[in-house]
DNA sequence: CTCGTTTGCTTTGATCAGTAAACTAATGCA
DNA sequence: TGCATTAGTTTACTGATCAAAGCAAACGAG
């Protein structure tokens, strides 16, 4: 039956749209997608995180994070600071430039999704959510901790807009 | 209530699951994801295509295809033959080994989706399909002719404007 | 037919993302 | 005190990708 095919096609369109947006997006911020993702996660976490946390969240090795953070630091978009409680740890923080770059990369894809989603009727939202979760469950047996970050990042329920650099305690 | 967030999380899980499966899949066939994609497309096209067509379909440059085909050829999975009608053209064909490798890489993700999808009640299928299409439309304004092949990164039918905005820093 | 343009592909030389393994330094436990 | 663990970096490598330059075949006026 054709519904299966049609569903696969729709899925594919979703995947492709996401990928394309991610690239455009990154270039809008003047960085590569991977670096943008790092910045977005740092932002999401309130302004700082550790390489370890980044590696886990992004699903890559710590060595990869080291490389990305190196480049971001060289570009002055983030900077490193040693944690005071555990001196093995490093805190990765956005610089002002980093925040500026992030804001130049409005997450069109996600914003669009959010905007349209929130325009739906209540029951439609519920149905969409349940369908998406069902598909996710169908495809993803394991339980992966995925953040609500699509192209990663713009959902910013930035309730606390503190820009201080209270480098971890 | 956070339906929006939850939807984004589900979406993200879908994307991640797809990526992960793609890797597993490729390793089952003993090749990398990109090479597997090349082989799948060749297969889909009936056993042979040109580098140009592959580049268009995958949304990468011809140079990239040259590289992938080089490696596949070195591994004996495809071979090149000059076209007889237009000697500038090259035909990329699967070898027996290539076909064998392909068959060792059943598309786990897709099969799983299909299997589970077809187990659903009729009305559930209809609902899922409509939800997926809705999301696809929300994310992907353009009309893309996507094939029911679930992969990340394949571009079916390049829309000119997209091509230009891609691939810059 | 011929010359200039277009087309299809490859080469070259780069960048980016990613890994594994070895290493360093700080922690923490017994 | 001493050993195992943890966090992060370094090193050396691979794979995918691109832009630009090059080459050869095909096409299309004139």
CA distance A39 to A57: 12
CA distance A138 to B115: 9
> Any idea what the Cα angle at residue A19 is, between residues B45 and B68, rounded to 5°?
45
Which residues, at least 6 apart from A156, have a Cβ–Cβ distance to it below 8 Å?
A43, A44
Q: Is residue B160 predicted with pLDDT exceeding 50? A: no
**Angle, helix B108-117 to helix A122-139, in steps of 10 degrees:** 130
A·B CB contacts under 8 A: 187
Which residues, at least 6 apart from B57, have a Cβ–Cβ distance to it below 8 Å?
B41, B154, B155, B156
pTM, full prediction: 0.71
Per-residue pLDDT of chain A (169 residues), as tens digits, is 577 777 777 777 777 677 767 777 777 777 888 999 999 999 999 999 999 999 998 888 999 999 999 999 999 999 999 999 999 999 999 999 999 988 877 665 667 778 888 888 899 888 888 888 888 888 765 433 343 333 322 222 222 222 233 233 2
- State chain A's maximal CA–CA distance in angstroms: 61
Q: Is residue B45 predicted with pLDDT exceeding 90? A: yes
For residue A89, which nucleotide's C1' is closest to its Cα? Answer: D7
CA distance B61 to B77: 21
Does strand D come within 7 Å of the CB of A86? Answer: yes
Can you give the pLDDT at residue A140? 65
Q: How far is the CA of B67 from the C1' of C12 (A)?
A: 12
Find the mean pLDDT for residues B68-90.
Answer: 95
A148 CB near a chain B CB, below 8 Å? yes
- CB pair distance less than 8 Å for A116 and B125: no
| Burial A57-73, CB ≥16 within 10 A → b, else e | bbeeeeebbeebbebbe
Residue A112: what are its φ and ψ, rounded to 5°?
-65, -45
Contacts of B168 in chain A (CB under 8 A): 27
Find the mean pLDDT for residues B53-66.
Answer: 93
Contacts of A128 in chain B (CB under 8 A): 7, 131, 134-135
CB A54 within 8 A of CB A35: no
Of the candidates B109, B16, B126, the one whose C-alpha atom is nearest the C-alpha of residue A131 is B126
Contacts of B147 in chain A (CB under 8 A): 9, 12
CA nearest B169 in A: which residue? Answer: A27
Does strand C come within 7 Å of the CB of A106? Answer: no
Q: How far is the CA of A95 from the C1' of C25 (A)?
A: 27
CA distance B77 to B90: 16
Order of strands, sheet of B78-82, starting from the edge strand that comes earlier in the sequence: B48-49, B90-94, B78-82
Does strand C come within 7 Å of the CB of A71? Answer: yes
CB B40 within 8 A of CB B102: yes
């Amino acid at each position: 039956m054709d519904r299966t095919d049609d569903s696969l096609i729709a899925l594919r369109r979703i995947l492709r749209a996401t990928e394309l947006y991610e690239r455009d997006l990154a270039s809008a911020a003047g960085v590569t997608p991977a670096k943008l993702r790092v910045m977005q996660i740092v932002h999401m976490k309130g302004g700082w995180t550790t390489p370890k946390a980044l590696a886990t969240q992004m699903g890559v090795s710590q060595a990869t994070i080291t490389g990305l953070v190196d480049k971001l630091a060289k570009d002055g978009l983030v900077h490193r600071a040693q944690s005071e409680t555990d001196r093995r740890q490093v805190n990765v923080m956005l610089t002002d430039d980093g925040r500026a770059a992030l804001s130049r990369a409005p997450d069109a894809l996600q914003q669009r999704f959010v905007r349209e989603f929130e325009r739906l009727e209540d029951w439609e939202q519920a149905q969409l959510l349940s369908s998406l979760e069902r598909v996710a469950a169908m495809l993803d047996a394991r339980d992966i901790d995925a953040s609500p970050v699509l192209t990663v990042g713009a959902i910013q329920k930035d309730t606390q807009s503190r820009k201080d650099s209270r480098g971890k305690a």
